[in-house]
Chains A and B, each alone.
Chain A
Amino acid sequence: MTDHPETASQTAGPYVHIGCTPNFAGIHGVYPEDLGARMITGDATGERITLIGQIFDGTGTPLRDAMIEAWQADANGLYAGQEGADPHFSGFGRCPCDAEDGSFRFETIKPGTVAWPSGGTQAPHVNLWIVARGINLGLHTRAYFADAPQNDSDPVLGRIEHSVRAKTLLAQAEGSGVYRFDIHLQGPDETIFFDV
Chain B
Amino acid sequence: MTEIPKGGYAARLPQNHPVALYPPYRTSVKRSPQAAPLSFPTTISEETGPVFGHDLLGPKDADLLHNFGPQDQSAIGPRIVVHGRVQDQFGRPVVGALLEVWQANAGGRYRHKKEGYLAPLDPNFGGCGRVITGPDGSYEFRTVLPGPYPWPNGPNDWRPSHIHFSIFGAGFAQRLITQMYFEGDPLIWRCPIVGSIQDKAAVERLIAPLDMERTLPMDARAYRFDITLRGRRQTMFENRMEGL
Q: Contact at B17–A190, with CB atoms within 8 Å?
A: no
Known pairs A18-B112, A185-B33, A194-B40; A7 contacts B50 (CB<8 A): no
Q: Could you tell me the distance in whole angstroms from the C-beta of A102 to the nearest C-beta in chain B?
A: 12
Closest to A10 in B: B179
CA distance A22 to B189 in the complex (A): 30
Give B20-78 interface residues, CB cut-off 8 Å to A.
20, 22, 25, 27-35, 37-46, 48-52, 56, 58, 60-61, 67-68
Give A150-193 interface residues, CB cut-off 8 Å to B.
155-156, 159-160, 165, 185-187, 190-193
Residues of chain A within 8 A (CB-CB) of B67 are: 30
CA distance A159 to B40 in the complex (A): 8
Please tell me if B142 contacts chain A, counting CB pairs below 8 Å: no
Please tell me if A148 contacts chain B, counting CB pairs below 8 Å: no
CA distance A19 to B64 in the complex (A): 11
Q: Contact at A138–B18, with CB atoms within 8 Å?
A: no
Number of B residues near A (Cβ < 8 Å) is: 86
Give A23-71 interface residues, CB cut-off 8 Å to B.
25-27, 29-32, 35-36, 57-59, 61, 63, 65, 69, 71
CA distance A137 to B206 in the complex (A): 15
Number of A residues near B (Cβ < 8 Å) is: 82
Residues of chain B within 8 A (CB-CB) of A131 are: 177
Please tell me if B91 contacts chain A, counting CB pairs below 8 Å: yes
Q: Could you tell me the distance in whole angstroms from the C-beta of A85 to the nearest C-beta in chain B?
A: 10
Give B156-199 interface residues, CB cut-off 8 Å to A.
164, 166, 172-173, 175-179, 193-194, 196-197
Please tell me if B144 contacts chain A, counting CB pairs below 8 Å: no
Q: Contact at A195–B38, with CB atoms within 8 Å?
A: yes
Q: Contact at A57–B91, with CB atoms within 8 Å?
A: no
Q: Contact at A25–B50, with CB atoms within 8 Å?
A: no
Q: Contact at B205–A7, with CB atoms within 8 Å?
A: yes
B126 in complex: contacting residue of A27, A116, A132, A195, CB < 8 Å: A27
Q: Chain B contact residues: over half helix, strand or loop, or mixed?
A: loop
Residues of chain A within 8 A (CB-CB) of B229 are: 6-7
Q: Contact at B38–A57, with CB atoms within 8 Å?
A: no
Number of A-B contacts (CB under 8 A): 269
Q: Could you tell me the distance in whole angstroms from the C-beta of B238 to the nearest C-beta in chain A?
A: 8
Closest to B58 in A: A31
A129 in complex: contacting residue of B8, B11, B31, B175, CB < 8 Å: B175
Known pairs A118-B4, A136-B22, A196-B42; A8 contacts B50 (CB<8 A): no
Please tell me if B119 contacts chain A, counting CB pairs below 8 Å: no
Q: Could you tell me the distance in whole angstroms from the C-beta of A5 to the nearest C-beta in chain B?
A: 5
Residues of chain B within 8 A (CB-CB) of A138 are: 175-177
Known pairs A91-B50, A194-B38; A19 contacts B128 (CB<8 A): yes
Q: Contact at A7–B206, with CB atoms within 8 Å?
A: yes
CA distance A34 to B31 in the complex (A): 26
Q: Contact at B38–A159, with CB atoms within 8 Å?
A: yes
Known pairs A6-B229, A115-B43; A193 contacts B33 (CB<8 A): yes
Residues of chain A within 8 A (CB-CB) of B20 are: 135-137
CA distance A56 to B178 in the complex (A): 23
Residues of chain B within 8 A (CB-CB) of A82 are: 44, 48
Q: Could you tell me the distance in whole angstroms from the C-beta of A100 to the nearest C-beta in chain B?
A: 12
Q: Contact at A114–B44, with CB atoms within 8 Å?
A: yes
CA distance A110 to B19 in the complex (A): 35
Q: Contact at A25–B37, with CB atoms within 8 Å?
A: no
Q: Could you tell me the distance in whole angstroms from the C-beta of A116 to the nearest C-beta in chain B?
A: 6
Q: Contact at A192–B35, with CB atoms within 8 Å?
A: yes
Q: Could you tell me the distance in whole angstroms from the C-beta of B45 to the nearest C-beta in chain A?
A: 5
Across the A-B interface, the 5 shortest Cβ-Cβ residue pairs:
A19-B102, A134-B27, A134-B31, A92-B50, A136-B18
Point out residues on B near A: beta carbons under 8 Å. Answer: 3-4, 6, 8-9, 11-13, 16-20, 22, 25, 27-35, 37-46, 48-52, 56, 58, 60-61, 67-68, 87-91, 100-102, 110-115, 126-130, 164, 166, 172-173, 175-179, 193-194, 196-197, 201-203, 205-206, 227-230
12 residue pairs from A and B, CB less than 8 Å apart? A5-B202, A6-B13, A7-B227, A9-B177, A9-B178, A10-B18, A12-B164, A19-B102, A19-B166, A117-B44, A127-B46, A136-B18
